């Protein structure tokens, strides 16, 4: 079980303490009972993601990991990683952590709520993925495909953009290289 303390900013600019931890059934329940209805109503592309299935995969297959970012015991973000089979899109084909899914609660999305209730949920989850990559010996390499609505967010974070991937429905592929020491 992994637990990592993190800090986020509230809409008022106050520092808020949170925790990234191995995902549990209660985190999926928060998604299903609170987030999902809002996401469906607002026609968000991740509204029907099956976090219960992702949680089961992480519990049954060692190559998957699922995490929740919580503040005051309530789920504010979710992250699903593949840690063993993916390789960089570059000729060297280095191993990397692949972000299968990343979601922030609707009230933490600047496209939905201005200002968002908590700032930095997505960025914090991506940084956590990079730390996992370092821990696994992959040097901080992380790759992922982006939903079109999130491309601007990743570009704002200056994640290297490698263009549309025809093998993945033309979703744009982003990849962090190794952390330089």
Give the pLDDT confidence of 50-84 residue by residue, as tens digits: 999 999 999 999 999 999 999 999 999 999 999 99
Give the pLDDT confidence of 7-31 residue by residue, as tens digits: 999 999 999 999 999 999 999 999 9
Of 78, 9, 73, the residue nearest 39 (C-alpha)? 78
Q: Which domains does the chain have, with CATH numbers?
A: 3-176 (3.40.630.30)
Its pTM stands at 0.95
Apex 154 CA angle, 102 and 39, nearest 5: 45
Q: What is the DSSP string of 136-152?
A: TTSTT-EEEEE-GGGHH
Helix (H) or strand (E) holding 154: helix 151-156
Helix (H) or strand (E) holding 157: none
- For the chain, give the number of residues: 181
């Amino acid at each position: 079980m992994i637990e990592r303390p993190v800090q986020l900013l509230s809409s008022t600019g106050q520092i808020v303490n949170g925790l990234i931890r191995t995902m549990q059934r209660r985190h999926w329940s928060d998604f299903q009972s609170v987030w999902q209805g809002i996401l469906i109503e607002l026609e968000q592309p991740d509204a029907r993601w099956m976090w219960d299935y992702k949680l089961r995969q992480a519990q049954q297959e060692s190559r998957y990991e699922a995490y929740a970012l919580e503040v005051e015991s309530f789920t504010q973000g979710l992250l699903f990683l593949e840690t063993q089979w993916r390789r960089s899109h570059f000729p060297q084909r280095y191993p990397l952590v692949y972000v299968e899914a990343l979601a922030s609660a609707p009230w933490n999305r600047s496209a939905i709520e201005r200002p968002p209730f908590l700032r930095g949920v997505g960025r914090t989850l991506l940084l956590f993925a990079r730390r996992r990559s370092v821990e696994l010996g992959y040097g901080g390499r992380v790759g992922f495909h982006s939903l079109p609505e999130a491309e601007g967010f990743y570009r704002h974070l200056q994640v290297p953009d490698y263009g549309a991937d025809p093998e993945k429905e033309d979703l744009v592929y982003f990849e962090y290289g190794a952390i330089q020491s």
